Amino acid sequence: MSELMESRARKLGLPPGTLVHLGSDNTDPVKLSIIDYSSTQFEERHSVSVDECLPFKDRPSITWINVDGLHQLEIIEKLGKAFNLHPLTLEDIVSTSQRPKIEELDSYLFIVVKMVRQIPGENDPRVEQVSMVVGSNFVLSFQEAVGDVFDPIRDRLRNSKGRIRENGADYLAYCLIDMLVDHYYVVLETLGDRIEEMEDEVINNPSPQAIAEIHDMRRELILLRKSIWPLREVIAAMARIESDLISETTRLYMRDVYDHAVQVVETIEAFRDIVSGMLEMYLTTISNKTNEVMKILTIMATIFIPLTFIAGVYGLNFQHMPELHWKWGYALAWAAMLSVAGVMIAYFRRKKWL
């Protein structure tokens, strides 16, 4: 989220279906891991090669192949060939600036979503693309880098917690998406806390830095919204799609995630409303302060300017100035000055400036 747009320049002019990895550079080796399970059996392997994956394809059990890293195109291509993926699917998997979407192809569903994580110690949430291929008995998931939010699901598969091992590949896909959406809530909570801190700051102690912070928050919400908004449609489509790949049970669960996704989007909208109100509040507070400063200046200047004038008059060097020779001249000058000051103060009192 550090840049407004990811570059697509490298891809320009290549034929559709050409694999070009469009994402941050990554020199770690691509990691494949397999989890294969049924209600009675469980097998897990890490750092496997593509060839080791192939035998799982024809087993009746459910196979989840997770790929961490998209920069070794030959691996993606080999996997694509093995699972009969359409060239456009492969192209979309490796270009990480895709808009979230769902596509129904002959033998599988292709889903692109965004994983948003709050990494402890980082200020802004990290956004990563996750693509999924959901077949009748397999799920392929593709991530940009090692590290994700799916560990609880792996635990549930290992320990056979919940219904997960008794259901099909569609239910696994649902679990993955559900987990992603739950993490949006975590990110929103962090943002909500920051917004509340900023509100306090703007009201009590509006520093010039606050403007930049408000603008940052606003921009982050705009970009987050752009990531999450299409997700609603994806999930809605998944609950509605007429495909044998999605069972009735899973559809019901998808409707539940859909409600959560809608809530996330509505929360972002509410945050945007609040943040945009904050800038107006800031501007008004500053105007108020300027008004206060002006009042102090005006009070001081308006009281002392006439006094200084009076002092100036009796500092004149004219030879013929009768007042200068009066016995009580000096006292009278003080009296004049004090009464002018008194009148001014009374005037500001009545104006409620003092």
Report if residue 126 touches a copy of itself, rule: CB under 8 A. Answer: no
Closer to a copy of itself at the Cβ: 65 or 214? 214
Instruction: Write down the least CB distance from residue 142 to a copy of itself, Å.
Output: 17
Residues 102-121 that bind a copy of itself (CB under 8 A): 103
- Residue 98 one-letter amino acid: Q
Closer to a copy of itself at the Cβ: 52 or 196? 196
Residues 217-246 that bind a copy of itself (CB under 8 A): 218-219, 222-223, 226, 229-230
Instruction: Write down the least CB distance from residue 241 to a copy of itself, Å.
Output: 14
**Tokens standing for 119?**
């990494």
Instruction: Write down the least CB distance from residue 48 to a copy of itself, Å.
Output: 25
DSSP bridge partners of 46: 33
The CA distance from 162 to 179, in Å, is: 14
Instruction: Name the DSSP letter for residue 328.
Output: T
Report if residue 281 touches a copy of itself, rule: CB under 8 A. Answer: yes
Report if residue 306 touches a copy of itself, rule: CB under 8 A. Answer: yes
Q: Which stretch binds a copy of itself (CB under 8 A): 5-13, 25-33, 55-63, 134-142?
A: 5-13
Report if residue 307 touches a copy of itself, rule: CB under 8 A. Answer: yes
Q: Measure Cα distances from 326 to 132, 311, 318 in Å.
A: 101, 16, 15
The CA distance from 339 to 327, in Å, is: 20
DSSP bridge partners of 101: 112
Report if residue 312 touches a copy of itself, rule: CB under 8 A. Answer: yes
Q: Measure Cα distances from 112 to 96, 101, 176, 238, 257 in Å.
A: 9, 5, 12, 12, 16
**Tokens standing for 170?**
């569609």
The one among 15, 60, 120, 121 contacting a copy of itself by CB under 8 A:
15
- 42-46 vs 31-37, strand pairing mode: antiparallel
Binding mask 133-162 for a copy of itself (x = CB under 8 A): ------------------xxx-xx----xx
42 near 157, Cβ under 8 Å? yes
Instruction: Write down the least CB distance from residue 60 to a copy of itself, Å.
Output: 23
